[in-house]
Amino acid sequence: MSRTHFAARGALALGALLALAACDNNTNDVVVPRPANPIFLSYVALGNSITAGFQSDGINDSTQKQSYALLLAKAMGTRYAYPGLTMPGCRPPIANFVTQARVTTATSGPTTANSCFFRTAISITDALNNVAVPGIQSADPSQQTPPAQAGNPLEQIILGGKSMVQRALDVHPTFATVWVGNNDVLAPAIAGLAPPPFAPQATPVTTFVQNYAKMINELVAGAPGLRGVLIGVVQVANAPVMITSQAFRNAQFVGALSVAAGQQLMVDFTTCTPTNLSLIGFPIIAQIKAKVLPPIIACAKTPTPPLGDLFVLDFAEQAQVKALIDGYNGYIKAKADSIGFGYYDPNTTLARLATQDPVLATHVPDLANLAAPFGQFVSLDGIHPTAAAHIQIANDLITVINAKYGTALKPAS
């Protein structure tokens, strides 16, 4: 063979090799998140303060990173974008239980409960995986702001003018968790179901059912094939923000609480009897400190309301609250069953944690431990879970998900 023929054949061979190389078109696959299971391709968490990552009566980028929703997304191996709030937050969490001083940063200056630092620039995105808004009730996720929840800047800052359901659908979810309903009863229960104008009213079950059904129906209609878990409402009377009236018969406890109230508390022992079963809402201390209420703790209704009524949840009212929440949860579970979702009752988690933490079990804050007066699982506001509790919630959710969908999500840590 001549050299020229050899060179020509070589060129042909080179061409053939290049042609083969051109057929290898698998070298640059779409690098989307590769979840543990295809059903987790796009996750969205709807909810309120707990889901958002609210702790110690505030929220910022640090607390948001401790949300069970983030832990769940990590276990799923899926994308997780949340509406990060610039430190120290909106509003900044409580940093000092006694003074109720809030988190600050080197550049923030003094902060108060009215301080609000907006979204971090890096958190601005088209699709959020956590669209939870602290403070929202069952009527809100289907409504665009305003007028729903007028005055809640977090609804604007997180949802940007869309409804929560609309914002959730922006991410084209394949899997959702929904934890809505706590705020339909939380504030009224803490306020002792006091009548207007002293306290907000709890949402009746029939209204709750209408609101909840509208939210879920919109969500499911907007995301065909959606899977997920509906989460029940917490029996709010079990939260350590509700202090047993018996604690106020302890002079040492009252003395320590008086420090937080900024003045000496007086206990009405005619109502705070050894057999009284009322729960006293901890926010009464802030009201006393602000001199909105007199520095008197009464444990049952008195002839001079709201003394003994506002922030006092008596035994009958506790039963009333429990029945209301049972009504909510009965519907939530039925709704989950009807749409093929899993159902998670957070009260099972709360009950288990109560076996591990005496504050949860006794409803008596540990005022000797001012860094964690409500125990290791509840933050400084007595309501919202700490990072440790979020892990427990995430793992219990994972158990529900694995059982419902046959997946193998690994526990969060």
What are 360's two structure tokens?
């949860």
Structure tokens given for 326: 């049972």
Q: Which is nearer to another protein, 10 or 411 (CB)?
A: 10
Does residue 147 have a cis peptide bond before it, meaning omega lies within 30 degrees of 0? yes
**Token code pair at residue 239:** 């939260």
CB of 76 to another protein, least distance (A): 14
Residue number with CB closer to another protein (167 or 301) = 167
CB of 87 to another protein, least distance (A): 13
Shortest approach of another protein to residue 4 CB, angstroms?
Answer: 5
CB 40 → another protein: shortest distance, Å? 11
Identity of the residue, 53 or 192, whose beta carbon is nearer to another protein in the bound complex: 53
| CB contact at 8 A, 130 and 51 | yes
Report the interface residues with another protein, using CB under 8 A. Answer: 2, 4-5, 7-8, 11-12, 14-15, 18-19, 21-22, 24-33, 41-42, 79, 81, 83, 86, 90-91, 114-116, 118-121, 124-128, 144-146, 149-153, 155-162, 167, 170-172
* Six token digits for residue 187: 């504030």
Q: Which is nearer to another protein, 86 or 287 (CB)?
A: 86
Main-chain dihedrals φ then ψ at residue 94, nearest 5 degrees: -70, 135
Is the distance from CB of 59 to CB of 49 less than 8 angstroms? yes
Provide, rounded to whole angstroms, the least separation between the CB of residue 117 and another protein: 9
What is the distance between the alpha carbons of residues 89 and 250, in angstroms, rounded to a whole number?
36
- 9 vs 352, beta carbon nearer another protein: 9
* Residue 60 tokens, joined: 């910022």
Residue 41's Cβ-side half-sphere holds a number of Cα atoms within 13 Å equal to 11
Please, what is the minimum distance in Å from the beta carbon of residue 74 to another protein? 17
CA 282 – CA 291 distance, rounded (Å)? 15
Q: Which is nearer to another protein, 93 or 365 (CB)?
A: 93
3-state secondary structure 274-285: CCCCCEEECCHH
